[in-house]
Amino acid sequence: MTATSPSDRPATADDRVELTPGTAPADPRFVNDDLLPVPVAERRWTTYNFAALWVGMAHNIPSWMLASGLVALGMDWVQAVVTIALANVIVLLPMLLTGHAGPKYGIPFPVLARASFGLRGANLPALIRAGVACAWFGIQTWIGGQGVFVLLGKTFGGWADADRIAGRPWTLWLCFVLFWALELAIIHRGMEALRRFENWAAPFVIVGALVLLGWIAVKAGGFGPLLDQPSKLGWGADFWPVFFPSLMGMIAFWATLSLNIPDFTRFGAGQRAQVRGQTLGLPTTMTLFALLSVLVTSGSQAVYGVAVWDPVALAAKTDNVFGLLFALVTVLVATLSVNIAANVVSPAYDLANLAPRLVDFRKGALITGVVGVVIMPWKLTSTPELYIFTWLGLVGGLLGTVAGILIADYWLVRRTVLDLEGLYRADGPYWYRGGWNPAAVLAFAVGGILAIGGSHSAPGTGPFPEDGLIPFLKPLADYGWAVGLAASLLLYTALMKGRAASRSPR
């Protein structure tokens, strides 16, 4: 467990590190141009770029459905907003901790994972993250394509009556495919194009959400009815069994990015830019968007007698052509913004890490797009229970376990000091046993079992047994992300410290 000191390699005044000129690793098993550190001169993202990235990613239909789903589950607007605000303050901490390696070393998430899991073992967390991202890509693309279909159908009429393929109108499949192609066309232009897109997409989506709020307030006769919808749960015994799994679900929503945030922070102009940008961008915008979402959903309950948690379905209730077209553009921009940034960038790097000789960033993005359309993503968002408790709960437990290992290794074991060249060499300090670190694998296995082993579903609402996969772990299931992170962090730290002690001279 050795690491080169910062003085052994080129570093800037703010401790940003890059490879010595002319010493770039060349082993094709572990290196391609997309995985190499970003040169310091090309790390240019500012506080605004990171804040705009988060505004663009936070303001999207699935995050809207998070907040509106809590209202549909029985919370009032105060309970829903507090739940989401607390979750995003909590998830910000691992986001900043793992993001630190980006500006300092210029490396993406799968390369950072090599320090803890080993050069080959890093493919384990990378493929888990990639698989989750592919699923999210499919969910977002389906929702975006469905939004285009619904709103164009309301505008021009007749779309829903088209001939059916696999039980759905062919026009819906057309919207889905066109939306999918547009996403891949943007990401094919690279990270700089993404930065420019996020800069203008972020404020546009905020305006769209405010317009929807104004519309439902007018329909409801003012803001009073939006604020007066009572909680069906109260603050007593009925509230807490919904609150804790919902909190873990809200955390799990961005637990994906708490792993691969180095994919973005590696372009940062310094630690201050990423810390300020993420702190300004994530908890504030998610809380604001949650507030807009729950107020609009409460308004729909007042106007229509039922909480309409899908903003596309709600927007489709208007007969104003201009309003429908504006909602259509907002749906397009919002979904493109989050899907490209959150769900294509990460698996593109992760798949490149798996086979650097065969897969570069652009090929990884294409593979992500293909996988995302064959997983039947519409099933995961069919009900609030399945979306929040089953999908997000399971994902959160696994990703929290990986985050605990990354944070433990980078901050507690190595004190943020990495051998940058060693992350690309089979004869370096991160080879461990055949490229795998047994301590990381064991910590992942134990943390993962504790986090998701008790996963359970109420009858008819999910795929798990009512008593849990492992019944005695059922009490831990509602805290999966926190359990996985804490267990893996503590176990990995103990194993690595014990390994170092056993190797020290006596």
Range picked from 44-53, 141-150, 161-170, 484-493 for highest mean pLDDT: 484-493
Q: What integer is the mean pLDDT of 473-483?
A: 86
Helix axes 345-354, 361-372, angle to 10 degrees: 110
Confidence label for 350 from pLDDT (cuts 50, 70 and 90): confident
pLDDT at 13 over 60: no
pLDDT at 106 over 50: yes
pLDDT of residue 440: 97
Per the DSSP assignment, residues forming a β-bridge with 168 are 165
Confidence label for 12 from pLDDT (cuts 50, 70 and 90): low
* pLDDT tens digits for range 409-443: 999 999 999 999 999 999 899 999 999 999 999 99
d(C-alpha 100, C-alpha 283), whole Å:
18
pLDDT of residue 228: 65
pLDDT of residue 284: 87
Q: Quick check: 348 and 365 in contact, CB under 8 A? A: yes
Q: For the chain, what percent of residues have pLDDT higher than 70? A: 85
In this structure, which amino acid lies at residue 454? G
Q: Quick check: 175 and 152 in contact, CB under 8 A? A: yes
Tokens coding 185: 């066309």
pLDDT of residue 405: 97
pLDDT of residue 414: 95
pLDDT at 8 over 50: no
Q: What integer is the mean pLDDT of 194-214?
A: 71
CB atoms within 10 A of CB 465: 14
Tokens coding 169: 């109108």
Confidence label for 5 from pLDDT (cuts 50, 70 and 90): very low
Q: Quick check: 328 and 174 in contact, CB under 8 A? A: no
pLDDT of residue 230: 65
* pLDDT tens digits for range 481-506: 889 999 999 999 999 998 876 665 54
Name which residue leads in pLDDT, 383 or 323: 323
pLDDT of residue 218: 83
Confidence label for 2 from pLDDT (cuts 50, 70 and 90): very low
How much of the chain is helix, strand and coil, in % rounded to 5?
70, 0, 30
Helix axes 191-220, 271-304, angle to 10 degrees: 30
CB atoms within 10 A of CB 134: 26
pLDDT at 3 over 60: no
pLDDT of residue 276: 94
* pLDDT tens digits for range 359-382: 877 788 788 888 877 777 766 655
Least confident piece of the model among 224-228, 245-249, 461-465 = 224-228
d(C-alpha 399, C-alpha 121), whole Å:
16
Q: Quick check: 432 and 121 in contact, CB under 8 A? A: yes
φ and ψ of 53, to 5 deg: -60, -45
Average pLDDT of the chain to the nearest whole number: 81
Note the pTM of the prediction, 2 decimals: 0.81
d(C-alpha 423, C-alpha 409), whole Å:
14
Confidence label for 448 from pLDDT (cuts 50, 70 and 90): very high
User: Containing H/E element for 165?
Assistant: strand 164-165
Q: 96, exposed or middle or buried, with CB in 10 Å at 0-12, 13-18, 19+?
A: middle
pLDDT of residue 4: 42
pLDDT of residue 239: 82
d(C-alpha 380, C-alpha 374), whole Å:
13
